[in-house]
Structure 1
Amino acid sequence: MSAEPRPHTRDPLIRTFGMVLRGYREAAGLSRPQLAEALGCTYAWIEKMETGTKPSIASAIDLDTYFKIPTKPFQHMAEEIEQMGKRPAFPPGFSEFVVQEANAVSIYGFESQVMPGLLQRECYARSIMDAGQGPEELDGLVAARMGRQTILKRGKPPRMWFVIDESALQRPAGGRLAFREQLTYLAHVMANVPNVQARILPFDSITWAGLDGSFKILELRDGRKTAYLESSVSGQLIYEPDKIEAVTARFHLVMGEALPVGASLKLVKKALEDYE
């Protein structure tokens, strides 16, 4: 049985590094021994990096080179881990949420201000995460967010349903070029990626379920569900079935108020016209 990321790993970015590494490895159809042989290291080292051991910068560079990733997410994350030590980079509960997200078969989410993290382009993500961090810290955070998107490339990606508040279409984070790229990508996903459905909650649809901030619900491979509530300064991972059902009810309410898929795509394309 493959070892899973250790829940007691204190640094959430180390855990994210392991999750991203596993995602790239599995997307390439490689076993741990096969990747170890390609990199000239031991199977045990690959296992340790995937399950919560601090990676070396040299190994991170080797991974970026092997997987031919020009943006060097592994190197950025390893350097940020080296810089940050044990300081937390994410809200409470988020590191565990990322680990569970990587194993989800279905993902439901409502975004009240910005695009869903799994659908963000790098320049857009960088602009909304740039809240006083130093360059190295910001690089690590952006690399971690981009790394989460490896689940979209796996053999059986999760089914995803997102409701996005219309305000996200009117907030040009990153400037005109970055926002145009983001809207173009969102429109592409809505029209061409069958396992992802995104709908827009228009300004004239007001429901209490969308007024308390963003949230996500995960259905895991073993049938369990978890939910994650977030705001700009805090996060909460929920395991209790009755509370998860309450969050699920909130999702159904915002989904019911959202525009149909076709009308949502039309609204995204209309917003995109302002940035052509």
Structure 2
Amino acid sequence: MSRYIAIDWGSTNLRAWFYLDGECQETRRSEAGVTRLNGRSHQQVFDEIVHGWPVSELPVVMAGMVGSNVGWLPAPYLPCPLPLESIAAQLTHVGENRWIVPGLSINHADNHNVMRGEETQLLGAQALAPAAVTVMPGTHSKWVIAEGDCIVDFRTVMTGELHHLLLKQSLIGNGLPEQRDDTQAFHRGLEIGVNDASILSRLFEVRAQHLLGTLPRESVSDFLSGLLIGHEVASQQRQLALAAPVTLVTNMQLAQRYQHAFTLIDIPTQWLEGDRAFQQGIRRIVDELTD
């Protein structure tokens, strides 16, 4: 199918793409995420974002928090292990020609996890840059284990959110000036994070260093970022016994930070831009939907 509308509807933002003959004709963006409707209904926001597009003639596939319990209509979490190709057969119907992609879940004694939105990127990633391990860095980084096109397991690491909380709402970031880019500070934090498993004790040292003058106060953010990313990558490598190349699905800036961490533990990586993975994932779903 070469004619469809793809929508990535998250908590704080909304993006929509109109495809015709396999080519994107127009992209639209809005800050009307599912937690920012400002008194409007989901239907009203939907009508605004697709205004002027031939909605009644095309399939519309939506992914992300639009399918959560605060979204338009709850879409289920599909339990893993799960063949990715089965996702398209379990969409939630919202209205005429409109569907929401389900999330994925793990519910084991040693691992309770959910994802919503990343499953669509996984569909694209396994088609464009297949790997046994796919890492999707972000606020809540996802580490996904696959066997072919089957998702076997995944885990979530709250690196991005922890960085924000520590910098904005803890003693570590209290009273700091505006932060600046500092590649040297990032790499120093990265090496400590990769090589030292005692992350909790290291966190207070971030504050101690800038108080004692060994870390510029303007560089705390990058040092802390390196410390947390290094610890994330090294701890997951130990837990998952990584040996194969890893696919990183994210934006270029974040991919480069994680690539530096993987280089320190001698794990090769390949990078796939997150929007490209999402678009390919939606295309796979639409192809299955219209066969």
Work out whether the TM-score is over 0.5. Answer: no
Higher RCO by CA contacts (8 Å cutoff, separation 6 or greater)? 1
The structure that is helix-richer by fraction is 1
TM-score normalised per structure 2: 0.27
Bigger Rg, structure 1 or 2: 2
